[in-house]
A = this chain, B = another copy of it.
């Protein structure tokens, strides 16, 4: 029998520009519009999934913070360039890098690539589909900016310190984790 299906889950790696988070999505009917390609706004949903997965792997519990009334991240600013269209059933890889870590906000760079194949320890990247620079701010329930929880900033700093430490952040739900 096949492996049991696992929820989509990313991992950490080291890229040319330093530590990266990698996340995979597939394009479904829900993502497309009548022009036959993925609707532009849906890349923002994909990028949000990748950011949330990165936080989860860093043991940043957004739901607990939300339920405890501490606050939540809100996108403050985003610039996105669309380079090539994604089509139904395309396998897409999303790379997320932390560009700048502030007291109350984080700047990230996120890039979506079409995948052309998978091999042991290697991803075959196809064309770049879209590239975004995003600033997210932590906001209190009253909507005012608030410093991110200290434990979260520590986790981000550890991640930024290098992917060789990143494996310690691996998720129990991660496919193929020993």
- Which of A's residues lie within 8 Å of B, judged by CB? 1-13, 22-26, 28-30, 32-37, 39-42, 44-45, 48-49, 52-53, 56, 61-63, 66, 72, 74-82, 84-85, 87-89, 91-93, 115, 118, 121-123, 141, 143, 163, 166-167, 170, 172-177
User: Within the complex, which residue of B29, B49, B82, B174 is in contact with A28, where a contact is CB–CB below 8 Å?
Assistant: B49
Q: Say how far A10's CB is from chain B's closest CB, in angstroms.
A: 5
Q: Are A2 and B177 in contact (CB under 8 A)?
A: yes
Q: Copy number of this protein in the oligomer?
A: 4
A56 to chain B: which residues have CB within 8 Å? 89
**Interchain residue pairs with CB less than 8 A apart (15):** A3-B11, A5-B8, A5-B10, A5-B11, A6-B24, A8-B25, A9-B26, A30-B41, A30-B45, A34-B88, A41-B41, A66-B88, A74-B85, A77-B79, A175-B175
